[in-house]
């Protein structure tokens, strides 16, 4: 790898941070053989539930060169979303922190487009590439580990030593050959089992590192279009959209620092809502408070159904 490529990679990371990303790593674009075997086993167990899109485009999911022809590098970027404030009324129904602010897909996709334009200018040639934010067959967490951003913890999330897991992940797959960063091969979860023991629906396997999505509160309150099964209806622990329990109990997240992205700030009313406010939530209030946020994806009717279960528990 030439010194010019190393210099460009260094400048790329500086530019990404200037755009608001907190961490950047680079991996070589190649087939994820080991990860492909794990994904196939996970799918065969049916752990993806009704998320049938996980079964499609298998080869594109495990080989970025098939997703982006000519790909040589996978640039992985992490963006902190941990909020500075918490809900004022802890007994009120809860929404996962990632969904408090503007839809992260749009926020990060815009940054990726800016970064790709900058990369072409800096390289002195038109760089071919595509940016992805949790909406395409890309295994972000596996690429994050390969790019040196962290390890996959027992709760299956990407963890960074001394920082935790409150990060969005985005990838930029390009035909530009850049020096890869060392992958993370160490695991700093140790003997800790807090995430496993804290999960109210036993979604995490007893040994960790494996998630049955069909039991996960995030899946039940967002992805599942049918009624939440009775076996889980009383175990939602107050969550009406998503769930943060396995992150809240993780010891590494005690090091989390507030984000610096204005777009991730919640609607002023959200953190002030009482249990009574939630109970009286109208479609109009829903549209106002959650306009432009990931919560809109579930829709008012789904949220209302889940809310009823939480209020009755």
Q: Of 295, 205, 199, which is closest to residue 247 (Cα–Cα)?
A: 199
Dihedrals phi, psi of 11, to nearest 5 degrees: -65, -35
**C-alpha span between 292 and 85 (Å, rounded):** 20
**C-alpha span between 60 and 173 (Å, rounded):** 12
Contact between 173 and 73 under an 8 Å Cβ cutoff? The reply is: yes
**C-alpha span between 99 and 78 (Å, rounded):** 16
What residue ranges in the chain does DSSP mark as E strands?
A: 23-28, 73-80, 94-95, 129-132, 151-152, 158-159, 167-174, 239-241
Q: Which of 33, 134, 187, 287 is catalytic?
A: 134
User: What b-and-e string marks burial along 188-218, b requiring 16 or more CB atoms within 10 Å of the CB?
Assistant: ebeebebbbebbebebbeeebebbbbbbbbb
- Find all residues with CB under 8 Å of 201, minimum gap 6, and list them: 215, 216, 217, 220, 232, 235
Active site residue 134: yes
User: What is the set of active-site residues?
Assistant: 134
């Amino acid at each position: 790898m030439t010194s010019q490529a190393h210099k460009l990679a260094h400048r790329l990371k500086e530019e990404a941070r200037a755009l608001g990303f907190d961490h950047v790593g680079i991996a070589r674009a190649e087939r994820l053989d080991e990860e492909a075997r794990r994904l196939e086993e996970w799918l065969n167990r049916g752990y993806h539930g009704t998320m049938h899109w996980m079964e499609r485009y298998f080869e594109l999911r495990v080989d970025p060169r098939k997703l982006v022809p000519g790909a040589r590098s996978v640039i992985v970027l992490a963006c902190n979303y941990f909020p500075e404030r918490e809900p004022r009324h802890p007994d009120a129904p809860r929404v996962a922190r990632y969904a408090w602010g503007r839809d992260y897909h749009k926020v990060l996709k815009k940054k990726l487009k800016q970064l790709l334009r900058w990369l072409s200018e800096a390289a002195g040639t038109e760089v071919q590439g595509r940016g992805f934010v949790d909406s395409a067959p890309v295994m972000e967490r596996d690429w994050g580990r390969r790019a040196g951003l962290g390890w996959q913890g027992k709760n299956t999330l990407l963890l960074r030593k001394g920082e935790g897991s409150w990060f969005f992940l985005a990838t930029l797959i390009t035909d530009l050959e850049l020096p890869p960063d060392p992958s993370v091969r160490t695991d700093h979860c140790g003997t800790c089992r807090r995430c496993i023991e804290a999960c109210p629906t036993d979604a995490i396997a007893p040994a960790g590192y494996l998630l049955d999505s069909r039991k996960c509160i995030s899946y039940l309150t967002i992805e599942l279009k049918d009624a939440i099964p009775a076996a889980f209806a009383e175990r939602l622990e107050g969550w009406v959209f998503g769930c943060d329990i396995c992150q809240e109990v993780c010891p590494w997240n005690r090091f989390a620092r507030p984000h610096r992205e204005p777009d991730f700030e919640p609607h002023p009313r959200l953190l002030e809502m009482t249990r009574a406010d939630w109970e009286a939530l109208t479609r109009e209030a829903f549209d106002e408070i959650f306009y432009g946020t990931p919560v809109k994806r579930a829709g008012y009717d789904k949220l209302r159904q889940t809310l009823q279960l939480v209020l009755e528990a």
